[in-house]
Chain A
Amino acid sequence: MAKTAPEASHQRRNFFYLFFILLIIWLALTSSFHWQEFSVGILLSLILSLILSKNYLKLGLPPISLKRIAFSIAFTIVLFIEIVKANLDVAYRVIHPKMPIKPGIVVIKTTLKQDIAKMILANSITLTPGTFTLDILGDTLLIHWINVQSENMDEATKIIGERFEKYLRVIFS
């Protein structure tokens, strides 16, 4: 079966993604560069990525570039800061005698297209306490919010999603 050129390059890219992810995990698990460990790791990663890289095709992983790596690192830092901030906020709400919460479910929009980008956004929102992704329907996310500040979709998108999405848009553009 003849494949078009971009499709073949996508496949090759996903193969290398999976191969290197597996190899890095293998090295982290064995924590050794001994040739025996290393060769078995390469062999296993090769077999697994040959069989399973077509699963990664639909994820929509972007080509690798310096800008994307830089933004991924920035995203990780921002995510960490947001998690700490949200933890303190929720802790304050729990400890406060009046318990100033206003729980509710809001809908926010996303412009991200790839499955993996949506998943990272949803998981980032879930990881920050106070907000929780219930489901993703098309380009909208259902969010349970401990303190609903706005029921308006655009405003809610700005408060909840935008802080992560501006990085993800660059990474997955």
Chain B
Amino acid sequence: MRAIISLFLISVLAWGIATALNEIPFGAAKTKVGEYYIGRGKEQTGASNIVTSVVVNYRGFDTLGEVTVLFVAAIGLGAVLATRRKKEKRDVEPASLVLYTGCRLLFPLILLFGAYIFIHGHLTPGGGFQGGAVVASAFVLVYLGCRGRRISETASKTVESLGGLVFIVVGLVGLAVGGGYFLSNYLPKGELNSLFSAGIIPIIYIAIGFKVGSELAGVIDHLVEESE
């Protein structure tokens, strides 16, 4: 009896999924806005990476929200962990020579890689968030390899605030001089596929890269403090 009921339920489920999938035309555009972005994105924003042109330009306001969410999360973590901060400095066991040396050797190279990712956000996959995460991973390496070393909280807060400020100021200037809306792309678009192109997109992605990198590094700093 149970087997029959299960069979019945599964066939109902299968029928439901099949009809739902049948409704979706395979390979055809589902929304007009997607077609619009693909068709006009390159000439309107100058970015050869369509995803970036959507994230930073068409949907720049959403990205500002995302950056804010990350900012609030970092602040919240800081607020929760800072109340329980222990002031005294504990002796930490130094990392092994291999890790210590490797960390010193690789730290600048990882920073360069992160910078490469966020500078090329409008040309290649990746962008400010990904590049920022790579930059923060360099600081994870510092915390693993060079124990006892700390990033300065003031510096990370300053960089983070400057990143956010650049984003907003560039957007507001667009409101004033550009098409009259927030984050309009008013700078020259340049030649498609070259580094200096796509107007304000690279500037905003560099700002996001710095902001995300310093934010995540600050988060790691708080977590290290807590675990010590």
A contact residues vs B (CB 8 Å cutoff): 18, 21-22, 25-26, 29-30, 34, 36-37, 40, 44-45, 48-49, 52, 55-56, 58-59, 115-116, 118-119, 122-123, 133, 135-136
Please determine whether A18 and B98 come into contact, CB atoms closer than 8 angstroms. Answer: no
Question: In the complex, what distance in Å separates the CA atom of A118 from the CA atom of B101?
Answer: 9
B98 contacts across to A, CB distance below 8 A: 118-119, 122-123, 133, 135-136
A115 contacts across to B, CB distance below 8 A: 97, 100-101
A25 contacts across to B, CB distance below 8 A: 109, 112-113
Question: In the complex, what distance in Å separates the CA atom of A135 from the CA atom of B196?
Answer: 47
A45 contacts across to B, CB distance below 8 A: 112
Question: In the complex, what distance in Å separates the CA atom of A126 from the CA atom of B104?
Answer: 19
Which single member of B102, B108, B196 contacts A36 (CB below 8 Å)? B196
B window 98-156: CB within 8 A of A: 98, 100-102, 104-105, 107-109, 111-113, 115-116, 119-120
Say yes or no: A136-B116 contact (C-beta < 8 A), given A22-B109, A58-B104, A118-B101. no
CB distance from B134 to the nearest CB of A (A): 12
Interface residues on B, range: 20 to 34
Question: In the complex, what distance in Å separates the CA atom of A70 from the CA atom of B60?
Answer: 52
| Residue in A45, A49, A116 whose Cβ sees the most chain B Cβ within 10 Å | A116
Please determine whether A116 and B108 come into contact, CB atoms closer than 8 angstroms. Answer: no
- Write 10 A-B pairs (CB below 8 A) sorted by A numbering: A18-B108, A25-B112, A30-B120, A34-B195, A52-B107, A52-B108, A59-B101, A118-B97, A119-B101, A133-B98
Say yes or no: A26-B104 contact (C-beta < 8 A), given A36-B195, A136-B98. no
Please determine whether A55 and B107 come into contact, CB atoms closer than 8 angstroms. Answer: yes
Q: What 5 A-B pairs are tightest by C-beta distance, nearest first?
A: A36-B195, A119-B101, A136-B97, A52-B108, A115-B101
CB distance from B97 to the nearest CB of A (A): 4
B111 contacts across to A, CB distance below 8 A: 48, 52
Please determine whether A116 and B112 come into contact, CB atoms closer than 8 angstroms. Answer: no
Question: In the complex, what distance in Å separates the CA atom of A122 from the CA atom of B97?
Answer: 10
CB distance from A26 to the nearest CB of B (A): 6
CB distance from A42 to the nearest CB of B (A): 12
Please determine whether A119 and B194 come into contact, CB atoms closer than 8 angstroms. Answer: no
